[in-house]
Structure 1
Amino acid sequence: MSGHGSPLAQPLQRPSAGRIAVYAGLLLLGALTGLAGALVQAGWFPGGLLLALAGAAGLFLGGARAARGRGGAVAPAAGWMIAVIVCTAGRPEGDYLFGAGGGSYLFLLGGMALAVICATLAFGRQPVGPDVRLGK
């Protein structure tokens, strides 16, 4: 064997400090986007909902491009999800950040759907070398 096998057959490498910093930054940006979207989506319905979802989708796809892989979409999606779940929890006083309206559910479900779509459609690693094309 020449060693030009599948990328999955290659040994795992430890991520660099720069890549970890990029993912941590994307996680933080995702949490901030989720918090901002939670506040905006109900304030200017339906424009705020569309603005919040467009911002989340832009961050997810931008993260995938910045990190050159699916992990760049997953990191901000995880931060977004954590922030939104924390915002949905009620406080002991009985206060809620989200109302029980349809816009809140559209924000939650739409954001989750966008996270899955962006992570699935993000640019994955492409194989390199002479074995990439069939028939050669």
Structure 2
Amino acid sequence: MTEEEWRARLSPEQYHVLREKGTERAFTGKYDKNKADGEYHCAACGQLLFESSDKYESGCGWPSFTAPADGEVVEEHRDTSHGMIRTEVVCSKCEGHLGHVFPDGPGETGLRYCINSAALDFEPED
């Protein structure tokens, strides 16, 4: 898609996060406190990204997951913006910016996928 097509498809906040690598303010995203069972999909292309069973309350202010739904649905890139070294997480299908992954999570993976709510659409279980 062209940037004009993305702008027409996404809300201004979604466009800023997904296409311009922006972030929403901590504790303001609609899925930060969501505890319902279901699936989290990319807000840009609809690809399944995360399952509610892997979501946990990290206290960081963004939805946090221990692992993606499948190892192939996200890609990781080195991010040196803002004077930090982080690992950016993008959708493998549309390359939309989702957030970052950090090595301070619980469980088997020890990872915390810190994801912007604006980059996600939630589909509750029936």
Could you say whether these structures have the same fold, taking a TM-score greater than 0.5 normalized by the shorter chain as the test? no
**TM-score, length-scaled by structure 2:** 0.21
**TM-score, length-scaled by structure 1:** 0.20
Larger radius of gyration: 1
Higher helix share: 1
Higher strand share: 2
